[in-house]
Amino acid sequence: MKRRNLLFCCLLAAGCHETTPNEGAAKADEAKSSTPAIKAPPPAEKVPLYRTTVGTEPVAEYKERTENPLNDWYFSVKLYETPKTFQYVMKLKYEELEGDDTLNLPNVGVMPKPVIQKGEDKYSCIVGFMDHQNQFREYKKVYVKNDELKVTSLKHYTVATYDK
């Protein structure tokens, strides 16, 4: 009986530890993430979560012609805006194969700037974004393997703000 009361008191004491909102979640996410959290400066103006106008043209594009001698085929990736400010639709194409995926960028306190760079492999590219320090952050890899389109997440990002 005394052991049970001692265990209960220990659990109660451990549960009484105060944390600021999201501190525990941010630390847990940072520990799980393949990269450390991006420490964004507090935004002077909050970036709206929704766009007032959604563009119809791609905001970023990568295109490479395939080696098919009979057809005018390409490997291409295009990013399109959605009503959500930090969400984009990726339209993928390799020859006659088509697909799409969603790209959710982190809110680093500035308007998102998605970027697509050429990958190391043939028919591959890296989809990422420019952070608040204008540094490229890779996020997803789009590539062709065995004549199939593939998308792989390279890194995961967490944004945390800290009170001083």
Structural domain that includes position 117:
3-160
**DSSP run (H or E) holding 3:** helix 2-15
Per the structure, how many domains does the chain have?
A: 1
The low-confidence residues of the chain, meaning pLDDT below 50, are: 1-22, 30-31, 44
pLDDT tens digits, one per residue of 80-102? 999 999 999 999 999 999 999 99
Rounded CA separation 123/56 (Å): 25
Q: What is the pLDDT of residue 108?
A: 86
Rounded CA separation 135/160 (Å): 18
Q: What is the pLDDT of residue 34?
A: 56
Rounded CA separation 29/146 (Å): 34
HSE-up of 129 (CA within 13 Å, CB side)?
Answer: 22
Q: What is the pTM of this model?
A: 0.71
